[in-house]
Structure 1
């Protein structure tokens, strides 16, 4: 019964609209003819209903339906709807003329009526729609009288669209715009006045009694956005921003959603603009395997593959909760794909062989790794086992299974490595290089810097410290790092994979390095606090294995541009494949006996450019025990 009631309630308004439009067609046709022939001394008889009028209504009604006039709603009528009505009226005139020519050769039909018909009908169809929308908008404004008063920064297209959305909601009341363009001063956008410049936000917010600020500048660069954010912070009011179009298209924000200003919006780096056509051409209808699929990079990589054409995704993950969470999210967002979940350590040959048999992948992305720099300085055995030996196991299994492409996700710390993470990742790159010599599987290495908001990264740490009231701990006031977002990192991986070189190392031109001190201060301000006043910033000294500045490019790796302007390809350095294979085999033996000193020697020998950073530690601050790497020429005792 309720289903019939719902269907009836949905049909009735549509029938009313169709009836209204056909009545207007009858009214225009009758009215124009009576006006035209009414001036004659002996006007012809004009009945209210005839076969001619029936033909007019049928022809015009079919055109209305074909043009799609009844797919829209009067509540949201706009200029495009008026154009659609005019098109329907003009095409309707052609249909009516054709029908009447066939019926009676257009006898007793005035040519003046035919000329005036489409314009008159458009006026009578468009006016009620626009009046209805104006009435609904005014009703929303009356409802919004007691709602939240909003001051909008930016009077462009985004601001204009925001006002329309807010009025439909009815719970927010736009009280004014702020814009730095001189031509906008004193004008109105959607009836809302432009009250001044962005720098005047504190004074104007107080005068208008605004309760919320909204930044409607989705195309503003980081420098301009920083200036706007600082101005908003001075008011003490909460502020939000309209998301970028790319965030909406990629599913990171919902249309019409207001989001908090994120730290990545203020970093000063232009985002990567992928060549999605090339990525979809390479990825489309492929089966892919992702190790570490429950991690920050692995899970986003799975989403990107699902979004851009993969038909099957195999998820290999050792953490059961992460695997369950990632699989559930993928099935919710992309239900039509095939998913194969394998719980286990990808460094176990049986696990990876089982995963390859089930999924038969054409591409494998190796995202499983340990990456915490200070921790790995004290956990050499696990760093080698996971970052080197597991990589060797997965890469070898993919080669033996005939997987078309193997992608190693590496790090900028593998360039001139000074810590265990960098050295083990560099050795993993070298091992893949030895396997690539057989030219069965295409081996691709992708390096990038720090990933914002990834698990264990500095951004979640700072956010938690700020939540607790501080202090925010920064290692050194001069330390800098290269940053990118998680989606950017995964887009780089897919873009590099699609380029097509057999054996290559790709890295992103990441622009300028970001001072960690500046990152901490901006995060404090975004939380509505002032650094040094509300939240203290404490410098703790560099941790074991850390250096002040990271290096993106190695001096001996000749870099050349690729088809993508922000991706560079490095020329792999010359290696002795047999020596690398022997070193990895010896590491496997040393790992099984947990011989950390032997592993340290082997790592130093296998990666000649590995020079451990001599970290200066404050003697008053306790530091973890670090297994020292002996000097190259030191005599063992």
Structure 2
């Protein structure tokens, strides 16, 4: 018996259908009662029951088709009110027509027409009232329980802030007690949203925190640049606020998934101060849609994110290739769950296995190739230069040859800022990879494109996960040098710009992504310690370990000799590089291959230096 009353979509629908039927009956009966001042003439009694049945026959199906039985009771909003108004109006138009052509009151003769209008308004009020009842109730009890909650200030009085406030007010089990908003927009000053005022500007956070005894801050600014977010966080810290939450991305808000439950802790990416990127999504869609796309290194940080972003643009087949079987399994399962209609093929293969690569290309004939597979750890590649060459140079060459032979349209090589004036094996091998793409672009066929960018946040083995683990253990946090600087990008941001560059590329270009301003690694370490609730050099020590082999204090995006050409996207530039002689390059590659096969480390380094000099 208890299962009958269990809260499910079916039981909720049955409840509202029955409630509407009762309210329709009450509305029609009250309409006649109001029309005749409480004394309904006896000749109308039989018709009232018929009108109730007729009204229910029209109203309930029309309500159903307007999705008025499949809404969230706690989050009912103006959109449901508009749907209710539309559905009620259509229902009563049909009801009026039915009465007009009936045998009982043809052409409304002797029929009290006012009862239709009164019924219409009563049905709208009663059916709307029951739908808004829970939200009103939660709002009332939420206001009454403010003493058990922590006073909260919301930064941003736009759509995101309004949705978060509405979500908090509709929930009985939240720790937030909103007291107002702050927003830098002059037109929003003093405005009231759901009973709460915009109390001032972002710069007023410290003053308001003291005056209103604020304990928590929610940042709801998804559409602004990170500088404003960083400013709000710094002011909150200045005010002594420890609990700072931030709203999810604009994409999640557009999709309607935002609530206070989606709020996340402030992360390093929120403090980078990077501007929002603008993409030509139509150009990317035209580039990807209905194409067979191969992504190498699909289990890695860049490759897996490229796979996620590519899947959104509906390729005819997404071919994932990596030698990491666990990683490939994980990304494949994730994509199958999130994109059930997408065709996905997963291949375990080493890009250095020429026979296997040719077999894959022959079978699938990919039209677009994103080459993200690479050895990327600088110190490890310094110790294993032969492996760096075999994978980053000759693996790339094998893929480029297969792309050319089997008719790929575009080959996009993921390069790095370490390829400029390379001081490491990893950077040098990536520069040679760019040269291979430049050489192949001189042939008629596939278009070969390279894209350079810096470090991506949270990539495997990068500085941020390492710092996070060191902080978890209580320190010390190890920084190589106090002056060490690096460019950083969000993984999703980098991948979207790679796709945009791929769509724009005509062949032979080395695209350079605008990385913003370089970040001091020491400042990054301090920020991560603070985000974890500690004070640097007080709770957790920072130690300097010295620059490792192959590292630079600062990574360039271009050499002193190189310049850039602007493109249609303000975040993407083209490096002006000297031309590559394909015959000379082939000869040098054969030479370095022979040396690498003999494991002659010193000779490998010397040979690479000569190639790139």
Contact 2:28-2:51 within 8 A present in 1 as well: no
1:171-208 Cα shifts (integer Å, max 9, x gaps):
42415335266887888654567777767767876887
Tell me the distance in 2 between the aligned counterparts of 1:293 and 1:68.
41
**1:283 counterpart residue number:** 288
1:140 to partner: Cα distance: 5.8
The SS at the match of 1:542 is coil
1:102 to partner: Cα distance: 2.0
**1:45 counterpart residue number:** 43
1:172 pairs with 175, 178, 190, which one? 175
The SS at the match of 1:46 is helix
Tell me the distance in 2 between the aligned counterparts of 1:271 and 1:38.
64
Q: Does 1:433 align with 2:435?
A: no
**2:413 counterpart residue number:** 408
**2:226 counterpart residue number:** 222
Q: Which segments of 5 or more consecutive residues in structure 1 lack a partner in the other structure? A: 609-637
1:11 to partner: Cα distance: 4.4
Q: Does 1:576 align with 2:581?
A: yes
Q: In 2 relative to 1, CA 377–210 (structure 1 residues): closer, same or farther, beyond 3 Å?
A: same
1:380 to partner: Cα distance: 2.4
Contact 2:477-2:543 within 8 A present in 1 as well: yes
Contact 1:373-1:545 within 8 A present in 2 as well: yes
- Of the structure 1 ranges 153-162 and 428-437, higher mean CA displacement relative to structure 2 is found in 153-162
Q: In 2 relative to 1, CA 284–148 (structure 1 residues): closer, same or farther, beyond 3 Å?
A: same
Contact 1:174-1:192 within 8 A present in 2 as well: no
Q: In 2 relative to 1, CA 9–304 (structure 1 residues): closer, same or farther, beyond 3 Å?
A: closer
**2:99 counterpart residue number:** 100
Q: Kindly tell me the number of residue pairs found equivalent between the two proteins.
A: 606
**1:127 counterpart residue number:** 129
Tell me the distance in 2 between the aligned counterparts of 1:119 and 1:507.
63
**2:57 counterpart residue number:** 58
**1:24 counterpart residue number:** 23
Equivalences for residues 106-185 of structure 1 within 5 A: 106-139=108-141, 150=152, 152-167=154-169, 168=171, 170-177=173-180, 179=182
Contact 1:158-1:218 within 8 A present in 2 as well: yes
- Of the structure 1 ranges 506-515 and 110-119, higher mean CA displacement relative to structure 2 is found in 110-119
**2:248 counterpart residue number:** 243
Contact 1:286-1:362 within 8 A present in 2 as well: yes
1:90 to partner: Cα distance: 2.1
Alignment RMSD = 3.5
Contact 1:154-1:177 within 8 A present in 2 as well: no
- Of the structure 1 ranges 249-258 and 319-328, higher mean CA displacement relative to structure 2 is found in 249-258
1:56-110 Cα shifts (integer Å, max 9, x gaps):
4433444333433323254433332222222223222321222222221122234
1:524 to partner: Cα distance: 1.9
1:293 to partner: Cα distance: 1.8
Q: Does 1:305 align with 2:310?
A: yes
The SS at the match of 1:427 is helix
Contact 1:233-1:525 within 8 A present in 2 as well: no
Contact 2:230-2:273 within 8 A present in 1 as well: no
**1:269 counterpart residue number:** 274
**1:519 counterpart residue number:** 524
The SS at the match of 1:443 is strand
Contact 1:178-1:198 within 8 A present in 2 as well: no
The SS at the match of 2:20 is helix
Contact 1:218-1:244 within 8 A present in 2 as well: yes
1:358-396 Cα shifts (integer Å, max 9, x gaps):
433222221111222333334322222221121111111
2:338 pairs with 333, 336, 342, which one? 333
The SS at the match of 1:93 is helix
1:585 pairs with 586, 590, 598, which one? 590
**1:374 counterpart residue number:** 379
Tell me the distance in 1 between the aligned counterparts of 2:270 and 2:317.
33
Q: Which segments of 5 or more consecutive residues in structure 2 lack a partner in the other structure? A: none
Contact 1:143-1:171 within 8 A present in 2 as well: no
Contact 2:181-2:196 within 8 A present in 1 as well: no
The two structures have a TM-score, normalised by structure 2, of 0.87
Tell me the distance in 1 between the aligned counterparts of 2:155 and 2:27.
46
The SS at the match of 2:432 is helix
Contact 1:314-1:355 within 8 A present in 2 as well: no
Equivalences for residues 307-456 of structure 1 within 5 A: 307-456=312-461
1:554 to partner: Cα distance: 4.1
**2:476 counterpart residue number:** 471
Q: In 2 relative to 1, CA 331–126 (structure 1 residues): closer, same or farther, beyond 3 Å?
A: closer
Equivalences for residues 485-500 of structure 1 within 5 A: 485-500=490-505
Q: In 2 relative to 1, CA 98–416 (structure 1 residues): closer, same or farther, beyond 3 Å?
A: same
Tell me the distance in 2 between the aligned counterparts of 1:325 and 1:75.
35
Tell me the distance in 2 between the aligned counterparts of 1:605 and 1:372.
23
The SS at the match of 1:76 is coil
- Of the structure 1 ranges 195-204 and 42-51, higher mean CA displacement relative to structure 2 is found in 195-204
Contact 1:446-1:496 within 8 A present in 2 as well: yes
Q: In 2 relative to 1, CA 587–135 (structure 1 residues): closer, same or farther, beyond 3 Å?
A: same
Tell me the distance in 2 between the aligned counterparts of 1:570 and 1:385.
26
Q: In 2 relative to 1, CA 156–117 (structure 1 residues): closer, same or farther, beyond 3 Å?
A: same
Q: In 2 relative to 1, CA 143–366 (structure 1 residues): closer, same or farther, beyond 3 Å?
A: same
Equivalences for residues 65-84 of structure 1 within 5 A: 65-84=64-83
Tell me the distance in 1 between the aligned counterparts of 2:515 and 2:496.
14
1:302-324 Cα shifts (integer Å, max 9, x gaps):
22222321232333222333333
Q: In 2 relative to 1, CA 594–155 (structure 1 residues): closer, same or farther, beyond 3 Å?
A: same
1:472-507 Cα shifts (integer Å, max 9, x gaps):
333333332221011111112211112241332212
